[in-house]
Amino acid sequence: ADCDADSTAAGHVSLVGAGPGDPGLLTLKGLRVLQEADVVIHDRLASAGVLELARRDAERIDVGKRPGAGTSQDAINALLVEHARRGRRVVRLKGGDPFIFGRGGEEIDALRAAGISFDVVPGITAAVAASASAAIPLTDRRHVHAVRLITGNDAEILDAFDFSDVAAGRETLAVYMGVAQLPALRARLLAAGVTPAMPVALIENASRAEQRVVATTAASLVAAADAHHVASPAIALVGSVAVNQTRST
């Protein structure tokens, strides 16, 4: 996606999806833009391997958000505008895809408001990478015909969803950023009628060398995560497509 702003904008910003972590999964366009950048403003999920592909003399600015810490979104927006107005080619490097739980929409709104030209380079999102690396199809005509991506970092957000299609076996559920709220997810799934035996795969560090896959069920979700010390970044895939998952750890 490209957007031309007015001629007062001297620089340009590219929002680039870094993918799930494996540098080989960065797109060719993402690689080209990264190697042309004067400054790379990156989050904490952009892997070291991907960052190493940037131009050697490019300035690197870590704006990663962490629970209770990190750079605010307003400050990130201001950095993008500031460096572009200095005539620099800016890459905003984001783990996964900029427009899937990446707050890319907020950033392009800020760029539009400031008259800064930008483009968006999509990346492989965590759900796609996790399912592929764990050999779990997100959709399979023998099992499900839909997939839903949700963020699970807030119990109130989980309460807002209707999981009846998951319970009926019509849908695969991919839960991002949900490690801290697994007890709430388990309760919500079971309350919606999801069978306790519904397969769940917890995939930690998808596509990276340290990837782990924990195969469990809706009922045993919390116990399995605790037993294996599952930590972020991790994604939960819930649904019958995970029934043949055998690479548990």
Whole-angstrom distance, CA of residue 62 vs CA of residue 75: 12
Place of tokens 């895809």: 97
Whole-angstrom distance, CA of residue 73 vs CA of residue 193: 38
CB atoms within 10 A of CB 246: 8
Whole-angstrom distance, CA of residue 91 vs CA of residue 120: 10
Active-site residue flag, 65: yes
Identify whether the C-beta of residue 147 lies closer than 8 Å to the C-beta of residue 139. Answer: yes
Phi, psi of 113 (to 5 degrees): -65, -30
Per annotation, catalytic residue among 2, 4, 6, 43: 43
Per annotation, catalytic residue among 65, 119, 154, 165: 65
Cis peptide before 233 (omega within 30 of 0): yes
Active-site residue flag, 43: yes
Nearest to 236 by CA among 158, 123, 162, 159: 158
- The DSSP line for 132-153 is HHTT--S-BTTTBSEEEEEE-S
The DSSP 8-state label assigned to residue 215 in this structure reads E
DSSP-based three-state secondary structure for 214: strand
Catalytic residues: 43, 65
